Amino acid sequence: MLKSIKSFFESHLAQEQENPEDRLHQTNLASAALMIEVMNSDHQIDEREFAAILDALQSSLDVTEEELHELAELAKDQAHQATSLYEFTRLINDNFDYEKKCELIQNMWKIAFSDDELDKYEEHLIRRVAELIYVSHSDFIRTKLAVRDS
């Protein structure tokens, strides 16, 4: 992940949460990190991709207004430094059901297609995340086609 985004998520995800609501909130933040990584994977920030991320964060994830603005700033002020996706996909595997995982993959496709150009790095990242969160290949393709054709 990006260094600044990684730092944000480490500060919000570091502490162990026993409350199920807090754990779900952490998982939603991990999902947001993966969506931001799709936007950054082609090394070009397009305003349409940025708008798609904000839309996905507002519509499908439970993030506060403050976190939404902080995430938006982090995405705008990117500093490329890749690291493992494991810390985020682990939270998703532990806390999301299969339907919610498919929704995440669909949101990632929306971001990738939002600039009317699917980059090979975007597709590769979404494929990797789908594999890491155990979304079947058929659902990976189904969500891709649904977004592409909409």
Dump pLDDT digits (tens) for 27-64. 777 777 788 888 878 777 778 887 887 888 777 766 67
- Of the candidates 41, 39, 9, 20, the one whose C-alpha atom is nearest the C-alpha of residue 94 is 20
Give the pLDDT of residue 81: 41
Q: Nearest 5 degrees, angle CA 72-CA 4-CA 97?
A: 70
At residue 39, the pLDDT reads: 81
Amino acid occupying residue 35: M
User: What's the pLDDT tens digit per position in 54-70?
Assistant: 888 777 766 677 877 77
- CATH code of 3-148, in short, is 1.10.3680.10
The string of pLDDT tens digits covering residues 88-129 is 888 899 889 999 999 999 999 999 999 888 899 999 999 999
Place of tokens 């969500």: 143
3-state SS of 96-130 is: CCHHHHHHHHHHHHHHHHCCCCCCHHHHHHHHHHH
Question: CA nearest 75: which of 102, 95, 56, 94?
Answer: 56
- Of the pLDDT bands very low, low, confident and very high (cuts 50, 70, 90), residue 16 is low
User: At residue 150, does pLDDT exceed 90?
Assistant: no
Q: What confidence score (pLDDT) does residue 10 get?
A: 59
Residue 25 tokens read as 């909130």
| Confidence grade of residue 135 (pLDDT, cut at 50, 70, 90) | very high
Cβ 105 vs Cβ 137: under 8 Å = no
* pLDDT > 50? residue 79: no
Whole-model pTM: value is 0.76
